[in-house]
Amino acid sequence: MKRIISVFLQTVGGLSIIGVAIVLLMKLSGSSENDYKITNTIKSPSGKHYASTYTRMGGGAAGWCRSGVVVYPIDSLQKDDGGLIERWSVIDGRCSEEFFIEWKSSKELTIVSNETKVPSGISIHVSK
């Protein structure tokens, strides 16, 4: 009887470890249900930064959707994998919100929204 209980516990423990390993591998490999899309990108006049507008969606059947703006150095990772958005996001809005971006100078970006969140626009100042 002790042997049966021992084998059962070892099997459950082993399956638990395999399950955790699979979840970790999915996370580390970048597999997710999130979809990121850069919709517009413009380079700053100095050529040191990019500003991009994006949409991102996920969540399966229940679903969610967001849009926003990121400002990031030219030499940063420019792969559209969501990491860029997570690291450099400056504003985040509803999916229906459309952002319009324009560099006013090498260090000032103006962001205007089609919704009331940013009705007259805001300026972002880049420090580097």
CA 75 – CA 48 distance, rounded (Å)? 8
Q: What does the domain layout of the chain look like in residue ranges?
A: 1-31, 35-125
> Who has greater pLDDT, 28 or 38?
38
- Band (pLDDT 50/70/90 cuts) for residue 28 is very low
Dump pLDDT digits (tens) for 84-125: 777 788 888 888 888 999 998 888 888 888 876 555 566 666
100 neighbors 126 (Cβ within 8 angstroms): no
- Single-letter residue type at 100: F
**How would you classify residue 96: left for phi > 0, otherwise alpha for psi between -120 and 50, otherwise beta?**
alpha
What is the percent of the chain with per-residue pLDDT over 90, rounded to a whole number? 9
Give the tens place of pLDDT for each residue, 8-18.
666 755 555 66
At residue 72 the predicted structure's pLDDT band, cuts being 50, 70 and 90, is confident
Torsion of CA 81, 94, 23, 25, to 10 degrees: 0
CA distance 53 to 107: 17
Q: What is the mean pLDDT of the chain?
A: 74
Q: List % helix, strand, coil for the chain (3-state, nearest 5).
A: 25, 40, 35
